[in-house]
A and B are shown apart, each in its own frame.
Chain A
Amino acid sequence: MTDAILEVQGLSKFFGAVAASDSLTFQVERGCCHALIGPNGAGKSTAIAQITGEVRPDGGSIRFNGREISRWPVHRRARAGLNRSYQITSIFPAFSALDTVALAVLARQPHAFRFWRDARRDERLRRSARSFLDRVGLGDRADVRAGDLAHGEQRQLEVAMVLATNPQLVLLDEPMAGMGRAETQQMLDILRPLKGSLSLLLVEHDMDVVFALADVVTVLVKGRVIASGTPSSIRADADVRRAYLGDGA
């Protein structure tokens, strides 16, 4: 008996003649790290955007914890426990790192209609935000403007933001994009302990990262699943080698 946190069924999305999702079907098991791989333009980011609600699918269904969510607005899905990071860093550049995460902490409260107290002196908010900054190794960068952080630090900040929303399923769109070796290793150390308590859907080009984290790998080409299975079976799959990994893999 499987326990899927996310079930994507027959999802389709066309941009003109380009099929970004073509009867896309897969599911993410609870507590697992599920990797989505595929060549550039395969439709990985578009799949994520449809799951979070930022892109409206042409058809198909998305079930989260057994409930059909494909018509819910973005914020409702996020509140239900579905949160994401972006392939292209997406932050609040004028906020300090701490304020950025405080905002994410605030986002999981029932509402932010509080008008009087200074949010910068709100200890509950700040303490919680600080703990997430510490978790991603940005504890000593709390007061730096997010826009002034180094690229790798901004990626870490994004992860801190996502974790602060108290998610059940985290969608990570190339969290290591543009990172050096050491930063990639650091990010791996941040992500690895999340497995189990959280479910992860990971889009990543770096195969070392995929094979280090993933329990299941799904390979996407032109919006379609061409293979799905354990990392070792995917590594051995001839179609996948031809379509994606290249002969040297």
Chain B
Amino acid sequence: MRRRSVVLAAGLALLLAVPPLAAIAGEPFAVTLASRVLIYALAAASLDFIVGYGGMVSFGHAAFLGLGAYTVGIVASHAFDGTAVPLLPFAWHGTDSALIQWPLAMLISALFALVIGALSLRTAGVYFIMITLAFAQMLYHLFLTLPTYGGQDGLNLWRRSEIPGLDLADDVSFYYLTLALLIISLLILKRLVHSRFGMVLRAGKQNEPRLQALGIPTVRYKLLAFVIAGAFGGLAGALTVNHTEFVGPGLLHWTRSGELLVIVILGGLGSLYGSVVGAAVLLILEEVIAGWTEHWMIVLGPFLVLVVLFARRGLYGWLAGREAEGD
């Protein structure tokens, strides 16, 4: 109990202290970078939920990030132009309200996850990896060739989402809101992992045939987990588009899905909290090393190999020790 609690408390304190420390150091950019870390941590945690606990190695998770981001981007662009959102049975001119935009982003991502999951979960192993990758690339090309919403140039977000009582244009407010949403999401996912539903999910990762022989129709549990992961991926997307005030097809590219998997493995599969550690280490290293050389992957690659070899439960497992196994 002790060591794990200390690690988590220290991590939380550190995250809370980022804006004041950045202000003291006169490095406001640090808050921007830290927000990026939190958003990627959220996306990676939602991926860890299905990979680390459910054994579903999805190589297309960036699709849900992208769908969430485009949902917000598109809705906001119609609000900006005063035009109606197409394909709706009623005239709706979009909105800037986060309270509508963000749940909508989660819903759209969840719906796509339902369709992609229903088709992909007929397969397993390397086929599952390939088919999720294929679906994500399809969506990538769709947005790349969709001129209405910027095509390859992407879409600018002219105004960040609006939340009553908060000014999201302020980077510090945005950072704390992102942190709050990350913590809430992690707690929800953690809760799910330890519920009956989560027990079935974790059992399926270990021995799916045995689980079916016990009488559990495993696919519907996996599908629901996939949809939940998609929804939280969509939330991360809604945050991303607000963070960068831009969304482009690059957000759905397979390299992005790969990056999310790297974060999950680096932080520790099946730990959720590891995603925060993984995202912090990957993005900060990327930032630092990219300052010295543009070939930052050459430095990062061997580092990854070392982590996988020597910290088999990832960086979080290495920090929190044996107690992390209960996560």
Report if A78-B213 is in contact (Cβ < 8 Å); known contacts: A113-B224, A119-B198, A120-B194: yes
Q: Check B203 for interface membership: any CB of A closer than 8 A.
A: yes
Give A117 to B195 CA distance when docked, in angstroms: 5
Whether B196 contacts A106 by the Cβ 8 Å rule is yes
Whether B194 contacts A118 by the Cβ 8 Å rule is yes
Within B189-236, which residues are at the interface with A (CB < 8 Å)? 191-192, 194-200, 202-203, 206-207, 209-218, 221, 224
Contacts of B216 in A (CB 8 A): 75, 107, 112
Contacts of B210 in A (CB 8 A): 86, 90-92
Contact partner, B207, options A90, A99, A108, A113, Cβ 8 Å: A90
Give A90 to B213 CA distance when docked, in angstroms: 11
Q: How many residues of A contact B (CB 8 A)?
A: 37
Contacts of B191 in A (CB 8 A): 115-116, 118
Q: Check A165 for interface membership: any CB of B closer than 8 A.
A: yes
Contacts of A90 in B (CB 8 A): 207, 209-210
Whether A122 contacts B215 by the Cβ 8 Å rule is no
Within A82-135, which residues are at the interface with B (CB < 8 Å)? 83-84, 86, 90-95, 99, 102-104, 106-108, 112-120, 122, 125
Whether A83 contacts B192 by the Cβ 8 Å rule is no
Whether B192 contacts A78 by the Cβ 8 Å rule is no
Contacts of B224 in A (CB 8 A): 113
Q: Check A54 for interface membership: any CB of B closer than 8 A.
A: yes
Q: Check A209 for interface membership: any CB of B closer than 8 A.
A: no
Nearest CB of A to B298, in Å:
36
Whether B213 contacts A95 by the Cβ 8 Å rule is no
Nearest CB of B to A142, in Å:
16
Return the CB mask of B10-41 against A: 1 if under 8 Å, else 0.
00000000000000000000000000000000
Whether A83 contacts B214 by the Cβ 8 Å rule is yes
Q: Check A52 for interface membership: any CB of B closer than 8 A.
A: yes
Contacts of A95 in B (CB 8 A): 202-203, 206
Give A93 to B254 CA distance when docked, in angstroms: 33
Report if A92-B196 is in contact (Cβ < 8 Å); known contacts: A78-B215, A107-B215: no
Whether A108 contacts B206 by the Cβ 8 Å rule is no
- How many pairs of residues, A versus B, come closer than 8 Å at their CB atoms? 93
Contact partner, A165, options B209, B215, B218, Cβ 8 Å: B215
Q: Check A195 for interface membership: any CB of B closer than 8 A.
A: no
Looking at A93, A94, A117, A161, the one whose CB has the most chain B CB atoms below 10 A away is A94
Give A114 to B210 CA distance when docked, in angstroms: 21
Contacts of A54 in B (CB 8 A): 209, 213
Whether B213 contacts A73 by the Cβ 8 Å rule is no
Whether B200 contacts A106 by the Cβ 8 Å rule is yes
Contact partner, B197, options A92, A104, A114, Cβ 8 Å: A114
Contacts of B195 in A (CB 8 A): 114-119
Nearest CB of A to B228, in Å:
9
Whether A92 contacts B206 by the Cβ 8 Å rule is yes
Contacts of A106 in B (CB 8 A): 196, 199-200
Contacts of B202 in A (CB 8 A): 94-95
Whether A119 contacts B213 by the Cβ 8 Å rule is no
Which residue of the partner chain B has the closest CB to A106?
Answer: B196
Give A122 to B217 CA distance when docked, in angstroms: 22
Which residue of the partner chain B has the closest CB to A162?
Answer: B214
Contacts of B221 in A (CB 8 A): 112
Contacts of B194 in A (CB 8 A): 118-120
Contacts of B217 in A (CB 8 A): 73, 75-76
Report if A108-B215 is in contact (Cβ < 8 Å); known contacts: A90-B207, A92-B207: yes
Q: Check A222 for interface membership: any CB of B closer than 8 A.
A: no
Give A92 to B205 CA distance when docked, in angstroms: 9
Give A113 to B218 CA distance when docked, in angstroms: 12
Give A106 to B203 CA distance when docked, in angstroms: 12
Whether B214 contacts A115 by the Cβ 8 Å rule is no
Give A93 to B213 CA distance when docked, in angstroms: 16
Contacts of A122 in B (CB 8 A): 196
Return the CB mask of A31-65 against B: 1 if under 8 Å, else 0.
00000000000000000000010100000000000
Which residue of the partner chain A has the closest CB to B205?
Answer: A94
Known pairs A99-B199, A107-B216 / 9 extra A-B pairs, C-beta < 8 Å? A73-B212, A78-B213, A92-B206, A95-B202, A107-B214, A112-B196, A116-B191, A119-B194, A119-B195
User: Which 6 A-B residue pairs are closest in the complex by CB-CB distance?
Assistant: A78-B215, A107-B214, A114-B196, A79-B215, A112-B196, A74-B212
